[in-house]
């Protein structure tokens, strides 16, 4: 599939290049991207919305260095995980004006955009799913953001057309910090990036200070799994050992017991037998399609699951979320981490108050008013232990 798409995209590219003279010209003549092997210090910019005439340079997730003659005014986001990147970008006030095009992948993402961006309906160009360079070009972006694993399939073709592509990962706490800084540079608001990073750092440090004194031997054995039931095929999936979900469990002072099954790159299906062999102390159930609570209830009533100590100790939990489940590589992971810490170590984590965390998060990260939070966010909270 991917291979065929690459072929087709390259064929289209060849036709375009043949039709145009020399390298393709973009509609934003102010951008002159270069790829320089030498490193340059990024230029400091005042934390305002005015355009700075000096060039900026960013080094993205793939280590590519890109210099812009001036701040990109039109930003597009494309590819899978568009939403996860978009949610990060929207933490900057400039996003509302600079984001011009987003890939429309899943219906439920749109509701969040409408909450944080009043101009979304009128101004945002929604690209069709799996948009290729031809669909992205008409929005005249100055830069396109996407996940780094799309470099070959989507990024390269777009760059061939002269539009710079910045790759982001945002999939681990370290990557998150790095990529937020990149976004900040791109938007000309590195101060805001620092704010965001320090917000996250304060939370992670708080959590670390709670967890550090606890000896590892006392970490509960945790199973974090995604429940899927498409087409009547029930499957229990465990996340890869390299994924954010696993890091979150470890940071929250849990011992992930599924690692031997998680050596692959993605979700791995495990049978109930294996879960019974592990017999975890605590089980977290992620369900991406709707509220996980009914799933957890059905598991509690399943005669097999009742044999597990987690069920018997009432330690089967639905993983919380609001617009999205909090387990994904999306800014909300910090909420997921806080919740995990509180759930795994309730006695030591008294300083964490989740309701406060949620409100603070949306206020400080997205600039939502208390009223908006109460009408749009809190009703969407599903389920949690308080």
Partner 1 sequence: MKHRNNKTIFGLSILGLLLLTALSLFVGRYPTPYWMPVDRMLEDPLARRLVLTLRLPRILLALLLGASLASAGAVMQMLFRNPLVEPGFLGVSQGAAFGASLSILTFGSGSLPMHTLAIGFALAGLVGSYILARRLRFGGWVLRLVLAGIAVSALFSAGTGVLKYLADPLTELPEITFWLLGGLWSGTWEDVLNVLPFVIPGLLLVFLLRWRLNLLSLDDETAWSLGASPEKERWWLLLGAVVATAALTAIAGIVGWIGLIVPHIARRLFGADAQLHLPGAMIIGAAFTLLCDDIARTLTAGEIPLGILTSLLGAGVFMLIMTTFRVHLKR
Q: Which is nearer to partner 1, 145 or 207 (CB)?
A: 145
110 binds partner 1 (CB under 8 A): no
Q: Which is nearer to partner 1, 193 or 224 (CB)?
A: 224
266 binds partner 1 (CB under 8 A): yes
Least distance in angstroms from the C-beta of 76 to partner 1: 19
Q: Among 260, 297, 313, 364, which residue sits at the site for partner 1 (rule: CB under 8 A)?
A: 260
Q: Which is nearer to partner 1, 86 or 373 (CB)?
A: 86
Q: Classify burial at 235, counting beta carbons within 10 Å of its beta carbon; exposed 0-12, middle 13-18, buried 19 or more.
A: middle
Which range in 13-21, 163-171, 234-242, 361-369 contacts partner 1 by CB under 8 A? 234-242
140 touches 28 (CB < 8 A):
yes
Q: What's the rounded Cα separation, in Å, for the pair 137 and 133?
A: 6
258 binds partner 1 (CB under 8 A): yes
3 binds partner 1 (CB under 8 A): no
249 touches 256 (CB < 8 A):
yes
Find the angle CA(83)-CA(385)-CA(205) to the nearest 5 degrees.
Answer: 65
Q: What's the rounded Cα separation, in Å, for the pair 43 and 58?
A: 10
Q: Where are the beta strands (DSSP E) in the chain?
A: 56-59, 65-68, 75-77, 99-103, 125-127, 143-147, 165-168, 221-228, 235-238, 255-256, 268-270, 282-286, 316-318
Which range in 29-37, 160-168, 273-281, 377-385 contacts partner 1 by CB under 8 A? 273-281
11 binds partner 1 (CB under 8 A): no
Cβ neighbours of residue 98 closer than 8 Å, sequence gap 6 or more: 72, 73, 74, 75, 187
What sign does the CA torsion over 70, 329, 339, 260 have? negative
Least distance in angstroms from the C-beta of 227 to partner 1: 10
Q: Among 37, 53, 215, 231, which residue sits at the site for partner 1 (rule: CB under 8 A)?
A: 231
276 binds partner 1 (CB under 8 A): yes
**# chain residues binding partner 1, by CB under 8 A:** 38
Residues in the site for partner 1, rule: CB under 8 A?
A: 1, 80-81, 105-106, 129-130, 228-235, 238, 258, 260-264, 266-274, 276-277, 288-289, 303-304, 307
């Amino acid at each position: 599939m991917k291979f065929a798409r690459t072929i087709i995209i390259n064929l289209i590219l060849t036709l375009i290049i043949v039709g145009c003279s020399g390298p393709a010209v973009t509609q934003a003549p102010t951008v002159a991207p270069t790829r320089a092997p030498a490193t340059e210090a990024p230029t400091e910019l005042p934390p305002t919305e005015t355009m700075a005439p000096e060039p900026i340079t960013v080094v993205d997730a793939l280590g590519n260095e890109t210099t812009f003659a001036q701040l990109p005014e039109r930003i597009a986001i494309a590819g899978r995980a568009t939403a996860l990147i978009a949610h990060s970008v929207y933490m900057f006030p400039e996003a509302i004006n600079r984001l011009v095009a987003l890939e429309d992948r899943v219906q439920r993402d749109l509701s969040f955009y409408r909450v944080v961006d009043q101009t979304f309906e009128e101004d945002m160009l929604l690209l069709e799913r799996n948009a290729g360079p031809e669909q992205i070009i008409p929005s005249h972006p100055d830069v396109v953001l996407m996940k780094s694993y799309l470099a070959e399939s989507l990024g390269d073709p777009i760059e061939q057309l002269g539009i710079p592509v910045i790759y982001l990962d945002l999939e681990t706490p370290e990557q998150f910090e790095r990529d937020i800084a990149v976004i900040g540079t791109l938007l000309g608001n590195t101060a805001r990036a620092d704010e965001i990073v320090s917000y996250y750092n304060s939370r992670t440090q708080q959590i670390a200070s709670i967890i550090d004194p606890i000896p590892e031997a006392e970490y509960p054995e945790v199973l974090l799994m995604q429940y899927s039931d498409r087409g009547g095929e029930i499957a229990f999936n465990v996340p890869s050992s390299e994924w954010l979900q696993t890091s979150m469990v470890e940071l929250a002072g849990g011992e992930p017991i599924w690692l031997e099954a998680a050596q692959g790159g993605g979700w791995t299906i495990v049978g109930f037998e294996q879960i019974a062999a592990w017999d975890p102390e605590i089980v977290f159930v992620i369900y991406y399609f709707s509220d996980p609570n009914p799933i957890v209830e059905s598991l509690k009533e399943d005669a097999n699951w009742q044999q597990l100590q987690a069920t018997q100790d009432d330690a089967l939990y639905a993983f919380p979320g609001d617009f999205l489940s909090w387990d994904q590589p999306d800014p909300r992971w910090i909420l997921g981490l806080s919740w995990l810490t509180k759930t795994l170590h309730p006695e030591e984590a008294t300083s964490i108050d989740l309701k406060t965390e949620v409100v603070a998060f949306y206020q400080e990260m997205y600039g939502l008013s208390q009223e908006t939070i109460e009408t749009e966010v809190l009703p969407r909270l599903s389920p949690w232990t308080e």
